[in-house]
Each structure stands twice: as C-alpha cells, then as structure tokens.
C-alpha cells in the first residue's frame, strides 16, 4: 500500500507474515531482525504479535509490518485475519528437525487458501548454526524452494546469519 506523508513524500507499508511449525524460531527471527535480540528460552507465541520495521529503498521509506503467530494449532488466532492483506511471507522450518521441513507443504497450502494477492515467498531453513545435528540438507531446501517457486535462504537467529537478507529480499521483491 502506498501513502503520502505530510510533506507529500511517498511511504510504503507492506504486511509480511511469518509461518511455520512451533519452535522453528519464527519469533526469534523477527526479534533479531527488528531489535537485534535473541532469547535462548523464549516462550511459544500465543495469538498474534507484530513489529514494524523500516527500510530505505531509493530514498523512499518502506515499512514492513511483520506478523508472527503461533505454530501450535491451539494457540493460533483466526487464520484468515492473520493472512489478510499480506504481500510477503516467510515460511520457516528448523534444519535440525526434519518434521518441520515436511510440514512446509501444509503451510504453503494454508497461505494459498487465505492470501488474496500474489505473495512474495521465502523458504527459510533456520538454525543453520546447528550444523552438527542437521537433518535437512541445503540441497533439499533449495530443491523444494525451486519446485514451489520460492526464494530460499538458511538463517540463524542465534548468530544472525542471513536474518536481514531473509526479510529484506522479500520486501525488495514486493517493492
Ligand atoms: P512458536 O511461537 O511456538 O510457533 O515458536 P517459534 O517458531 O516462534 O520459535 P521461537 O522463536 O520461540 O524459538 C524456539 C526455540 O528455538 C527457542 O528456544 C529459541 O531460542 C530457539 N532458536 C530460535 N532460533 C534459533 C537459531 O537460529 N538457532 C538455535 N540454535 N536456536 C534457535
Ligand atoms: Mg513464536
């Protein structure tokens, strides 16, 4: 959506949703990106939280309103409201837990059902710092992303690897 501020400068506001199974690190990716914070023992998200983060592109202020919800079914808020108006999505799995990768298809289906426009989508393999217990190869992530037409990146909210890129690539694509 495009707005004009008081001086007539253009401003953009994009809604981005973060989805994926519980404990894959959605909330920590967002807190790392928006506040440069990581929590080693964060609680499961209940309902919906969001953060707004600004980015400067070609001298224009681009604001991303990033929505984070619970991966756990019983803590999830009304699904259609969560997705409404979203123009970007990060679909997150945990590279150390194969089940979370196998759930990606279901998250993509849900996204497709509830989103009305063409959504810029990024597949995110989080926790790449856990190389010693890796259960999903980089190739598998890449292949799935390619097959489904998504961008792909591996991240670590713990050591900050690629966190900024994961969000900003989606924002740039929308813009
Ligand atoms: P729900 O809110 O239940 O859907 O979970 P979530 O996807 O928001 O996960 P959350 O960010 O709460 O992280 C779950 C756990 O994984 C926490 O103990 C985090 O500290 C840990 N974690 C998150 N990101 C990383 C990462 O990049 N590396 C490692 N090693 N641990 C991480
Ligand atoms: Mg969470």
Q: What pLDDT score was predicted for residue 1?
A: 65
Q: Are 69 and 111 in contact (CB under 8 A)?
A: no
Nearest to 173, CA basis, from 79, 76, 64, 98: 64
Q: What pLDDT score was predicted for residue 117?
A: 67
Does this model's pTM top 0.90? My answer is yes
**DSSP conformational letter for 79:** H
Average pLDDT value for residue range 158-162: 98
82-85's contacts with Cβ under 8 Å and 24+ in sequence apart are: 82/17, 82/48, 82/114, 83/17, 83/110, 83/111, 83/114, 83/115, 84/114, 84/116, 85/15, 85/116
Which ligand 1 atom is at minimum distance from the Cα of 43? 12
Ion ligand 2: residues, CB within 5 A, are 26-27, 45
Q: Which tens digits make up the pLDDT trace of 85-115?
A: 999 999 999 999 999 999 999 999 999 999 8
Q: Are 94 and 23 in contact (CB under 8 A)?
A: yes
Nearest to 148, CA basis, from 167, 170, 168, 123: 123
ipTM of the complex in this document:
0.99
| Distance in Å, CA 145 to ligand 2 centroid | 23
């Amino acid at each position: 959506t495009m707005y004009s501020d008081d001086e007539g400068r253009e401003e953009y506001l994009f809604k981005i949703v973060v989805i994926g199974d519980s404990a894959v690190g959605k909330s920590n990716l967002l807190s790392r990106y928006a506040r440069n914070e990581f929590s080693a023992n964060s609680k499961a998200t209940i309902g919906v939280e969001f953060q707004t983060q600004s980015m400067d592109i070609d001298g224009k202020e681009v604001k991303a309103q990033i929505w984070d919800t619970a991966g756990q079914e019983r803590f999830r808020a009304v699904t259609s409201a969560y997705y409404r108006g979203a123009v970007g999505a990060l679909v997150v799995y945990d590279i150390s837990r194969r089940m979370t990768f196998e759930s990606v298809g279901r998250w993509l289906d849900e996204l497709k059902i509830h989103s009305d426009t063409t959504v810029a989508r990024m597949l995110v393999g989080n926790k790449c710092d856990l190389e010693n217990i890796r259960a999903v190869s980089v190739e598998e992530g890449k292949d799935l992303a390619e097959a489904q037409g998504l961008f792909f990146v591996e991240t670590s909210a713990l050591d900050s690897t690629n966190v900024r890129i994961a969000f900003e690539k989606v924002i740039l694509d929308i813009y």
